[in-house]
Amino acid sequence: MKINYDELNEKHCRLVDKMYRQFAGLSSEIISFRNKTIELEIRISGRWPKDPKTTAIQISNDWRSTHECLKKAKFYKVNLIFLNPDQDTGGTFSPNQDRSSMIQEINEILEKMRNPGENKSILITGSIDYENGNQN
């Protein structure tokens, strides 16, 4: 079965990722799924509290458990991108906030996302033994 990654990323954002983006400063996108390996790119802001290995396993599990087409995944390959301190993955706004200031804040967030500058990244790979509950 051929996977449409754009559609899968959009669906995942609506179902799961929006909460991570708004409240935890983390976003993820699937790059590919081949040979039972989920390949993801995860962007992390300073708000995210977990270590890289735990993050890779948790987000890979989220993708696998949310999407039927990824149920047979046994491995993960995750590129973690650590955003600069002034960058973020999203935010929340008060319903009482005036419209013009909210639009200005949204535009500032989007501009920082479009022009990230220099970010650090690391690649993490591993296997996940879902049947026995063991994760490596």
Q: Which helix (H) or strand (E) holds 107?
A: helix 99-114
CB 3 within 8 A of CB 69: yes
Residue 85: per-residue pLDDT: 60
Alpha-carbon span 62 to 101, nearest angstrom: 34
- pLDDT beyond 60 at 12: yes
Statement: the pTM of the whole predicted model exceeds 0.85: no
Per-residue confidence (pLDDT) for residue 131, from 0 to 100: 41
More confident residue, 117 or 2: 2
Region 18-47 average pLDDT: 92
pLDDT digits (tens, 9 = 90+) for 104-133: 877 776 666 566 556 677 788 888 754 444
Show the tokens assigned to 135. Answer: 């994760």
What pLDDT digit, counting tens, does each position of 24-33 carry?
889 999 999 9
24-33: Cβ within 8 A, 24+ apart: 24/48, 25/83, 25/88, 25/89, 25/90, 26/55, 26/59, 26/89, 27/89, 27/90, 28/59, 28/62, 28/63, 30/5, 30/63, 31/5, 31/79, 32/5, 33/3, 33/69, 33/70, 33/73
Which long-range contacts (C-beta less than 8 Å, at least 24 apart) are formed by 13-17? 15/66, 16/62, 16/66
